[in-house]
Chains A and B, each alone.
Chain A
């Protein structure tokens, strides 16, 4: 992505802030000014007694919480939930198929029968020549029966096909021409025959801080909330869905749900939910629930019947005679009224037929699936490999009643469908970008498509080599294992997660290898398709001086490329420029051993055409690094210069807060307003001899360009800038951002300054 977009954002925000009001004073801010939007009246009606059914996308790890009506903490019980699952078979019926005048497939009507069916369906249309058009059809709850019509444009005649076909075997045929050729449309479910529904019943729990209004604090404290996923956050969440139908080109009607969520703040005060239902892991999705009354019931009193779909709980009360009177309430699940909640995450997961309920495991798997699903791998789908691995990992838990395991094909199909669902991978790619025969064929037969595919695969390759997420999982779980008081069972569970993550790291490397092979193939094909058209090599513009001095060998390589291309340093991709295929700005940190060396920076465009540029790096641990404020530049005769520098110390991030705290500037190390702090050393200014060819970078603010940008100047120019505040604007077109005394880092080689780098200070 072109860095100019970043700068435009910066300018845009600057203009936005130019209209900023005064910040409210303490007196203003501390006075409540907002009136709560009242909750629906039915929610404020006297509470009778009901359990709350809650469903969330991330519900496997979720804990839903009930507080007492007045907002006081509920009596402490263990965080608990009850998960209930049952299955219902779906039936699919193909009602009509058509062909177009040109012989292509026209349309068909698919009916899916089953209570609350919701999900994705694969529709394969096989033409007489054997080519398969692979499509996905969505369907959603609609009063028990769901009908979705799929059609392609310009359809004409309709003919009836098979009727009332069992779901798994649904196929429709239509004859075309002579010779018995036929189009076949088969509709397959997403793996197992049955769909799983989960219902979470909220049970009493407690807040670690004892205050249900402390929801954000719980997040920050991390006592319950996970850093990555806001799961396990104990709040009462009431949600209500409203549905609407709309028409679009793809489906006859699409039922969409909008969801309102409230958090019970106690005292009949409901606040709209401010947390994200798992967008981090699974793509944003919604909560569906239609329960309006609640009370706390003991976990032990709740029972659920899968036979008649009823929920029962017991509630005790003290009668006038001081006797305990127990009332049992039974609630029927009215599926048609959508009182039964649909458990989407479970839906995705359960489609694989795997019984794996550890969210960390599924999180990693989803990450992998989303990456893998992205790659049009020649000769098959890597989902098969993943499905094989997952079935093996979950074998003990995934045995069906008849003793069989889910098949690899079923699970692979389910994985593929899952990543096609934008809720799973967060629309990480366009619909056509994930693996499909169509996409692959396009990539190999069109130069433009091949170019796009190369870019996509390059991104995939970078993702595959980026194991940051797995590193986080591993380090977090290892830390938990080593912490005091961890039980053996918990340590074992976490070790299993670590082992999984290590495996995934290896799997990612495998995927990177696949991507490399694919890149080679696509690039060759792209050049072939281009024919005689010559692809120009990218031109690299490196930022920074031609000679860089470093004490520790760690340097940042930055630059621009004049076309879409990817940069590498000495053969290693610079990953931090990952944005999309249009990136032209790259930056990355690299490390080198002591000595003088030539660093080669390579840029490779989508066609695989490269260019190389280089700079000199001198790494010497004996270099002295000093920080201070430049207060004067004095010529010493001949070619030499002397810098007068007031010594100082620079601190950043946590060290800055600590240093400022030690100096008495702030009373709390966390209160530093900016992530840096400069400690002035009360030393006399020092004189530093400087080479006339020293490398000098300053912070520049272009009059008609970016502000700030690093610019190179020579020593003579530097001295002129120092003497004349208007020199750079007049002669160079930019203003010196921090006119002296400027904070600078000096690299000193045996008493002589060889490099001057101005420190950016916001």
Chain B
């Protein structure tokens, strides 16, 4: 498969994952950044054994990296116009948005995408037990937010 064909086969999965992790405003930029980076490496997309898994890990890393940057220094955005974020009083969405990237990724993969923790662990590059811990922490935060 060509680079573009590989990308075409996984781009919606990547976009969904990035949207779940970082929200709709920056998901596209995250995907573009990661793709650009992979193309700059030897072999590009076609040189990867498991492109989807690799890219999903890269997206998670990118999101975490951006989060650190956001916390510690001003974010520099170039060429990406932010969309207005509608105010929301949705507690669940608030909790999701406040989850650390790894917990958010685990929650998305398991609760929404219905991967098993073992499958999610492969995509995230960690152990299944770690995914279960992330899920536990995510649930605890939701429970706390809902006062349950």
Q: Is the CB of A12 within 8 A of B76?
A: no
Q: Is the CB of B42 within 8 A of A670?
A: no
CB distance from A492 to the nearest CB of B (A): 26
When chains A and B are docked, how far (Å) is the Cα of A17 from the Cα of B126? 25
In the complex, whether A557 has a CB less than 8 A from a CB of chain B is no
Contact A9-B138, Cβ < 8 Å, known A20-B27, A21-B27: yes
In the complex, whether A394 has a CB less than 8 A from a CB of chain B is no
Contact A670-B33, Cβ < 8 Å, known A10-B111, A16-B24, A33-B80: no
Per-residue B-contact encoding for A268-280, CB less than 8 Å = 1, 0 else = 0001111110001
Q: Is the CB of A9 within 8 A of B41?
A: no
Q: Is the CB of A217 within 8 A of B41?
A: yes
* Segment 411-436 of A: residues with Cβ below 8 Å from B: 426
Of A47-55, A98-106, A576-584, the segment with at least 4 beta carbons within 8 Å of chain B is A576-584
Per-residue B-contact encoding for A6-26, CB less than 8 Å = 1, 0 else = 111111111111011111111
Q: Is the CB of A220 within 8 A of B32?
A: no
In the complex, whether A667 has a CB less than 8 A from a CB of chain B is yes
Q: Is the CB of A670 within 8 A of B49?
A: yes
Q: Is the CB of B125 within 8 A of A219?
A: yes
Q: Is the CB of B125 within 8 A of A272?
A: no
* Segment 116-148 of B: residues with Cβ below 8 Å from A: 119, 125-130, 132-133, 135-136, 138-140, 142-143, 146, 148
Contact A37-B28, Cβ < 8 Å, known A15-B90, A29-B35: no
Q: Please classify the interface of chain B as helix (H, G, I), strand (E, B), loop, or mixed, using the class held by over half of its residues.
A: helix
When chains A and B are docked, how far (Å) is the Cα of A762 from the Cα of B114? 9
B residues less than 8 Å from A35 (CB atoms): 76, 78
CB distance from A556 to the nearest CB of B (A): 12
Per-residue B-contact encoding for A260-302, CB less than 8 Å = 1, 0 else = 1000000000011111100010000000000000000000000
B residues less than 8 Å from A22 (CB atoms): 15, 28
When chains A and B are docked, how far (Å) is the Cα of A7 from the Cα of B142? 11
When chains A and B are docked, how far (Å) is the Cα of A110 from the Cα of B97? 41
When chains A and B are docked, how far (Å) is the Cα of A273 from the Cα of B68? 9
**Chain A, Cβ-Cβ closest to B119:** A675
Per-residue A-contact encoding for B43-82, CB less than 8 Å = 1, 0 else = 0000011111110011001101100110111001011100
When chains A and B are docked, how far (Å) is the Cα of A272 from the Cα of B75? 13
Which of A9, A15, A31 has the most CB atoms of chain B within a 10 A radius of its CB?
Answer: A9
Q: Is the CB of B73 within 8 A of A37?
A: yes
CB distance from B53 to the nearest CB of A (A): 8
CB distance from A594 to the nearest CB of B (A): 28
When chains A and B are docked, how far (Å) is the Cα of A1 from the Cα of B3? 43
In the complex, whether A325 has a CB less than 8 A from a CB of chain B is no
Question: Among A6, A11, A228, which residue has its beta carbon within 8 angstroms of that of B139?
Answer: A6
Of A82-90, A111-119, A208-216, the segment with at least 4 beta carbons within 8 Å of chain B is A208-216
Q: Is the CB of A580 within 8 A of B129?
A: no
Per-residue B-contact encoding for A674-692, CB less than 8 Å = 1, 0 else = 0100000000000000000
Contact A33-B9, Cβ < 8 Å, known A2-B148, A21-B28: no
A residues less than 8 Å from B126 (CB atoms): 280
Contact A9-B1, Cβ < 8 Å, known A33-B32, A33-B80: no
Q: Is the CB of A23 within 8 A of B142?
A: no
Q: How many interface residues does chain B have, given as a range?
A: 35 or more
A residues less than 8 Å from B62 (CB atoms): 274
* Segment 226-283 of A: residues with Cβ below 8 Å from B: 227-228, 258, 260, 271-276, 280
Q: Is the CB of B139 within 8 A of A579?
A: yes
When chains A and B are docked, how far (Å) is the Cα of A667 from the Cα of B1? 7
When chains A and B are docked, how far (Å) is the Cα of A173 from the Cα of B143? 46
A residues less than 8 Å from B31 (CB atoms): 23-24, 29
Q: Is the CB of B32 within 8 A of A9?
A: no
CB distance from A273 to the nearest CB of B (A): 7
Contact A29-B93, Cβ < 8 Å, known A1-B143, A5-B143, A216-B61: no
Q: Is the CB of A26 within 8 A of B8?
A: yes
In the complex, whether A671 has a CB less than 8 A from a CB of chain B is yes
When chains A and B are docked, how far (Å) is the Cα of A700 from the Cα of B40? 46
CB distance from A629 to the nearest CB of B (A): 21
A residues less than 8 Å from B135 (CB atoms): 579
When chains A and B are docked, how far (Å) is the Cα of A346 from the Cα of B86? 48
Question: Among A5, A7, A671, which residue has its beta carbon within 8 angstroms of that of B1?
Answer: A671
Question: Among B7, B16, B113, B140, which residue has its beta carbon within 8 angstroms of that of A26?
Answer: B7
When chains A and B are docked, how far (Å) is the Cα of A579 from the Cα of B110? 14
Question: Among A5, A29, A271, which residue has its beta carbon within 8 angstroms of that of B36?
Answer: A29
Contact A19-B24, Cβ < 8 Å, known A28-B32, A30-B35, A272-B68: yes
When chains A and B are docked, how far (Å) is the Cα of A13 from the Cα of B1? 32
* Segment 1-45 of B: residues with Cβ below 8 Å from A: 1, 3-4, 6-16, 19-20, 23-24, 27-29, 31-33, 35-36, 39-42
* Segment 124-153 of A: residues with Cβ below 8 Å from B: none
A residues less than 8 Å from B6 (CB atoms): 671
Q: Is the CB of A213 within 8 A of B79?
A: no
Question: Among A15, A426, A469, which residue has its beta carbon within 8 angstroms of that of B93?
Answer: A15
In the complex, whether A472 has a CB less than 8 A from a CB of chain B is yes
When chains A and B are docked, how far (Å) is the Cα of A219 from the Cα of B79? 31
Per-residue A-contact encoding for B91-110, CB less than 8 Å = 1, 0 else = 01101100000000001101
A residues less than 8 Å from B42 (CB atoms): 209, 211, 214
Q: Is the CB of A273 within 8 A of B65?
A: yes
When chains A and B are docked, how far (Å) is the Cα of A23 from the Cα of B20? 13
A residues less than 8 Å from B139 (CB atoms): 1, 5-6, 9, 579-580
Q: Is the CB of B61 within 8 A of A275?
A: yes
When chains A and B are docked, how far (Å) is the Cα of A582 from the Cα of B128? 21
- Which residues of A are interface residues toward B (Cβ below 8 A)? 1-2, 5-17, 19-26, 28-35, 37, 209, 211, 213-214, 216-217, 219-220, 227-228, 258, 260, 271-276, 280, 426, 468-469, 472, 578-580, 582, 653, 667-668, 670-671, 673, 675, 762
Query: Can you add 13 more A-B contacts, CB < 8 Å, to A12-B90, A227-B127?
Result: A1-B143, A9-B96, A10-B111, A16-B19, A17-B16, A21-B15, A24-B11, A24-B35, A29-B31, A217-B54, A220-B54, A258-B71, A469-B127
Q: Which 6 A-B pairs have the closest CB atoms?
A: A23-B15, A274-B61, A12-B92, A13-B112, A9-B111, A29-B35
